[in-house]
A and B are shown apart, each in its own frame.
Chain A
């Protein structure tokens, strides 16, 4: 692994002497993930173009994410996504972590994807999704849509949705959702299960 030192200043676009990040060569990365070397090369070029220093901090991440959802506020959802990544350096995302997460969430097996989805909802990482955590994520997803939705979402759409489905997910009614309960919830509808596979990207 390449050497990384703590950078004092924030912002992934500032140059910190000594904190030069270099990823593993493409062949090694291709072996470790579900992508081909060609795809990894393409992605790295784009990644490096966007962040010349090779690491993204949360602000830049939010900014990039919001470019895909121009009408809404993507910062909340981006925050949750950023948290799912196991950071080597606090608050920063490097290419290997990026690739790892992408491999997991985009081309992993069903189980891997489900575990990633669980980690997304479970913000504090205690292995259980509480009602508040689910509400936060639902609000974030609705926030992606933004005020320009037609027809506009009703005021308490997030709360209503959580009210409706949380007790359906929580089959043993202990107030939290475990990974198995989440898996069972998604598996109840085969169309929903196949939705997990529709979001892979062809490069």
Chain B
């Protein structure tokens, strides 16, 4: 409100327009004519040596912040007649500009957390950041939050290293993190091997292996070596079943586990075998049986437990679901349109392949994806024109959502890379931090010992040298406090303090 104070006289003067229509006379003026407004004064603000000066009224524009309220009096230094803040002067510049112009800007080169801390110190909400800078601020805040969340999660994951006595918990941890023990690693590699074997067997059993006895045509390997493949399949399914049951046993939340994607893939991988065992070799159901065999190929998805890249791909597709949906929808629209036009263009052609609109769908799909098999080709000129337009538009429609999906994948992939790198560097970093802390702790301990020695000497009346006088009274009293703690809990004087130091400073 104070920012428009200059206009108050104008607003008041403009109010004489109400006089003709006033139903009652107006109240007398509140301020007598001889009174003068309190003269505005300039305040000096010293932020880490850099001096800022501003009118008092400017600061009081925002009375719920530190500078606008009486809270600033806590920082008033009587000797130099200025307000002293031991904070960052570069960021303070922006805060003061907020008071002056009403707009808070976020400088891009400043660290977000530092900036947030300064805002919190001066009592300003980040929501008042101007529109020009707000988006940038929000984006960086979100990035930071994600990174911190990642760190916390990975930290929580690492924290669970202490010994777990429950067998279930141990097994679950072994399943989820194969690197925790050698047994888990062996299990990991064995299952991986059997997945590969199973998939290879599926592939190889369809390869032609010689001639059918008594009939024309080749014999696939699967029928020639029926027993071998059957044994192989049985072995794989045994392993997979065992793995699934063990996981089910070890899962902390069984319902959630049963509903999870990986367990569904597991079930789909092993079920066809059991169903196949149940059905006899009957012509009626052998068609269904063959269909079931197709599901065996889903075993390949079990590899996603082993490969992080595959998991990222799956996650990307899930997060790009809307773009993919858009792609499918627009393609469907285009296909229907072009197929219809094509059909009516080619309908009257001699011996045409375009017998119906659904038949033309195939042509349209093949053309739009620029495959062009050549099994269906337009004959009329109109048909050829439509075909040309169809293939050009196909390129566009498919090319549009692809960059979005690619950029999503790239972002998620890099995030994962960074997370892994951070985890790897984390241990080294923590070790270095611990060493730094220990050295500062050691310095404190030695200082305390020196102080005690001086105190003991003083008590026994020995002469002191004046070097001891410079000790800060805060430090002296801190040492005294620790001594009091020792005395309170003491069994043995010296030893107790060293144990305490170890606990506090993690030596």
Contact = CB atoms under 8 A, between A and B. Distances in A.
Q: Do A and B come from one complex?
A: yes
A117 B17 contact: yes
Nearest to B11: A68
B20 A182 contact: yes
Interface residues on B, range: 20 to 34
Nearest to B101: A49
A16 interface: no
Contacts of B36: 202
B42 to A, nearest CB: 13
A64 interface: yes
A196 B4 contact: no
A2 interface: no
Contacts of A134: 21
Nearest to B28: A198
A192 B17 CA distance: 12
A116 B16 contact: yes
Interface string A167-203: 0010000000000001001100101101110111111
A202 B8 CA distance: 10
A97 to B, nearest CB: 11
Contacts of B27: 198
A195 B20 contact: no
Given A42-B6, A186-B20, A198-B27, A106 B12 contact: yes
Contact of A50 (B3, B12, B13): B3
B13 A201 contact: yes
Given A46-B6, A186-B20, A192-B19, A200 B29 contact: yes
A137 B21 CA distance: 10
- Which of B13, B23, B32, B33 counts the most chain A CB atoms within 10 A? B13
Interface residues of A, number: 46
A55 interface: no
B67 to A, nearest CB: 18
Given A67-B1, A105-B14, A198-B28, A161 B21 contact: yes
Interface of B: 1, 3-23, 25-29, 31-33, 35-37
A45 B25 CA distance: 34
The prevalent SS among residues of A at the interface is helix
Contacts of A21: none
The prevalent SS among residues of B at the interface is helix
27 contacts: A43-B9, A46-B6, A49-B6, A50-B4, A64-B4, A65-B11, A68-B8, A77-B17, A98-B10, A101-B13, A105-B14, A105-B16, A116-B16, A120-B17, A137-B17, A141-B18, A185-B20, A186-B19, A192-B22, A195-B25, A196-B19, A198-B28, A198-B29, A199-B29, A201-B12, A201-B13, A203-B9
A38 to B, nearest CB: 9
B13 A106 contact: yes
Contact of B21 (A102, A141, A200): A141
Contacts of B33: 200, 202
Contacts of A198: 26-29
Given A141-B21, A202-B33, A202-B37, A196 B9 contact: no
Nearest to B17: A120
Given A68-B7, A68-B8, A200-B13, 18 more contacts: A43-B6, A43-B9, A65-B7, A67-B4, A102-B9, A106-B13, A134-B21, A137-B21, A138-B21, A161-B21, A186-B20, A192-B19, A192-B22, A199-B13, A199-B29, A202-B29, A202-B31, A203-B9
Contacts of B25: 189, 191-192, 194-195
Contacts of A64: 4, 7
A3 interface: no
- Which of B5, B7, B35 counts the most chain A CB atoms within 10 A? B7
B132 to A, nearest CB: 13
Contacts of B21: 134, 137-138, 141, 161, 165
- Which of B4, B16, B22, B37 counts the most chain A CB atoms within 10 A? B16
Contacts of B6: 42-43, 45-47, 49-50
A201 B21 CA distance: 22
A121 B17 contact: yes
Contacts of A47: 6-7
Nearest to B35: A202
A100 to B, nearest CB: 11
B103 to A, nearest CB: 11
Given A46-B5, A194-B25, A102 B19 contact: no
Interface string A44-76: 011101100000000000001101100000000
B96 to A, nearest CB: 14
Contacts of B32: 202
A128 interface: no
B252 to A, nearest CB: 57
Given A120-B17, A121-B17, A169-B20, A106 B26 contact: no
A67 B2 CA distance: 10
A196 B16 contact: yes
Contacts of A45: 6
Contact of B15 (A80, A182, A199): A199
